[in-house]
Amino acid sequence: YLKNHMKKICFIVAMAAEAKPLIQHFGLMHQGGRFGQAPSQVYQGNYKNIEITLVTNGKDADTGFDYIGCEAATLSTHLAIAYYHPDIIINAGTAGGFASKGAKIGDVYLSHKYIVFHDRRVDIPGWNRMGQGYFPCIDSDEIARLGGFKQGICTTGSSLDMTEDDAEQMRQTGGEVKDMEAAAVAWVAQLYKTPILCVKAITDLVGADRPTAQQFDDNLSMATQKLKDACFKIVDEHLLRKKK
């Protein structure tokens, strides 16, 4: 999947809070109004002779809140790839995990094998598999082993919670890391034949005693720092290292 040496890396990040530590760490500068009327925001900089671009989904003008979910992620990813032609897309963000599968709050997971949707219920042969997606991601085995990260199949839906039908699709597809953007980003990356890696820090555990929203609020700050540390390590120690 990967070139011997990265020249352009693009992060797709849904929320400003998730993006801020990365923007500061890589010294990225806001490129205001780059996409015209589209809400997606661009930050760019040069780091160790590579171009790093970070695109967030932007904010809703009516509420002031970050755009989350698949529609905004699809738009941001399309614009990012069409304008900047990166060598790799890294979808960095927070996510839910499953204690039953060994996840703990603050764990960092890398996407593994493929990325799927869990809330597209189309009970027609062929259409059902297309709905779920099964979009390929890069082989993250070496990065996970050397970096001390966990791996899991990222599964995406349009709601913070999940229904029993969602849970059944997760069982079918093997979903282990639950978010609201990864599969949408991966779909666009596949269309453009751009390699993708998802990096997800766990803010909440599915099935825990405390509500998902409360877990998310309590753990967001800690998880975004874990996310920043992981992304820096991945870029510095793996993507920028020339392969022999």
Supply the residues annotated as catalytic.
18, 204
In angstroms, the CA 77 to CA 67 distance is 13
Max Cα distance, the chain (Å): 51
- Report which of 121, 63, 111 is spatially closest to residue 89, judged by C-alpha positions: 111
- Main-chain phi, psi angles of 243, to 5 degrees: -80, 145
Give first-to-last CA distance, the chain, whole Å: 15
User: What SS3 state is found at 2?
Assistant: coil
CA 183 to chain centre: 8
- Extract long-range pairs of 23-26: CB within 8 Å, 24+ residues apart: 23/54, 25/228, 25/232, 26/52, 26/54, 26/232
Q: Which residues of 78-117 are buried (b: 16+ CB within 10 A; e: fewer)?
A: bbbbeebebbbbbbbbbbbbbeeeebebebbbbbbebbbb
